Amino acid sequence: MSLENFFAMGGYAFYVWTSYGLTLVVLVFNLLSPVVQRKQLLRQLALKQKREQP
Amino acid sequence: MSIIPAPISRFFHKTASPPHFYALADKLIPWLTVLFLLLLIPGLYGGLVMAPADYQQGDSYRIIYIHVPAAWMSLFIYVLMAIMGGIALVWRIKLAEVMLISSAPIGAGFTFIALVTGSLWGKPMWGTWWVWDARLTSELILLFLYLGVTSLYGAIEDKRDAARAVSILALVGVVNIPIIHYSVEWWNTLHQGPTVSKMDKPSIHISMLIPLLLMAVAFKVYYAIAVLQAAKLQLLKREASAQWVKSLLEKPQ
């Protein structure tokens, strides 16, 4: 199978690649969003703790 | 509690304790990520390159390698959430509440993927993006159940009350799961019947079946990674003033 054929997906390129692309976006978002939020939360909590300590 | 032997009960209490679970998640995530890639890469290669085109549907059928595993996950995660809800209501284990609420956005993601890829597959094959058929409609209701769990939890101030409310919602909503599963048999629908679960004689060739199963397991491992990441965040939110979080903050990041 040539690379050109692979991307063409027998004429169904739009449907196949949109499906795979959207799946990638949703899965990456659901994986990274809690990581980013946790880092922010840890930073806030650390600041608060520093302020409360004498 | 007395019917459970003491060492087993101790094991569960230790594993389910927030600081222990937080550390365990940190240890598991790298291994799960390696396992995920080991399943995903051959799954994608097998599905997009190795497997032959379908004799009726051409290459459009290759959407199956994400559509079907995502649809399976949408049901699997909801059943897990209902079990977590039951555990949370009976034993009031905080970790069960955290796992329930952490699973909801991931389940919503898979349900969304199943619906959208189904639509993108339906357009060239059925000639329409959407029909109000039993399978599609019950799957759409599942998406609303997932979103309902997340917004109900967010709407109630006290997180213990919120967890009780979403546990009940998760348990009640589970009636939708057999409806989705059997919808293609109970009603005469446009959506095709099961291909894989007829284990004695699956109507799918082995070169198409292997990548499909690889993708299905890869999605399960993805869920494990994503739910651990989300649970770490939820545990920190719930336990922000606990001693173990304070000592965690003192460690260099």
| Region class of B131: left (phi > 0), else alpha (psi between -120 and 50), else beta | beta
Size of interface A-B (CB pairs under 8 A): 89
Q: Which chain A residue lies closest to B115 (C-alpha atoms)?
A: A19
CATH code, domain carrying B170: 1.20.120
CB atoms within 10 A of CB B195: 14
- CA A13, B192, B189 angle in degrees (round to 5)? 120
Q: Report the pLDDT value the prediction gives residue B159, as an integer from 0 to 100.
A: 92
Which of B194, B221, B157 is CA-nearest to residue B28?
A: B221
Q: Report the pLDDT value the prediction gives residue A28, as an integer from 0 to 100.
A: 98
Q: What is the ipTM of this complex?
A: 0.92
The whole-angstrom separation of Cα A24 and Cα B226 is 14
pTM of the model: 0.92
**Structure tokens given for B193:** 């019947």
Structural domain boundaries in chain A: 3-52
Domain of B112, in residue numbers? 20-193+204-250
Q: Report the pLDDT value the prediction gives residue B92, as an integer from 0 to 100.
A: 87
Amino acid, res. B98: V
Q: Report the pLDDT value the prediction gives residue B56, as an integer from 0 to 100.
A: 85
The whole-angstrom separation of Cα B23 and Cα B15 is 10
Q: pLDDT, tens digit, for every residue of B170-203? A: 999 999 999 999 888 888 778 887 776 655 566 7
| Chain B residues whose C-beta sits inside 8 Å of any chain A C-beta | 48-49, 53, 58-60, 62-63, 66-67, 70, 102, 105-106, 109, 112-113, 116-117, 120-121, 123-124, 222, 225-226, 229-230, 232-233, 236-237, 240, 245-246, 249-250, 253
- Does residue B58 lie within any of the structural domains? yes
Residue predicted with more confidence, B227 or A54: B227
Q: How many domains does chain B have?
A: 1
**Could you say which residues of chain B have pLDDT below 50?**
1
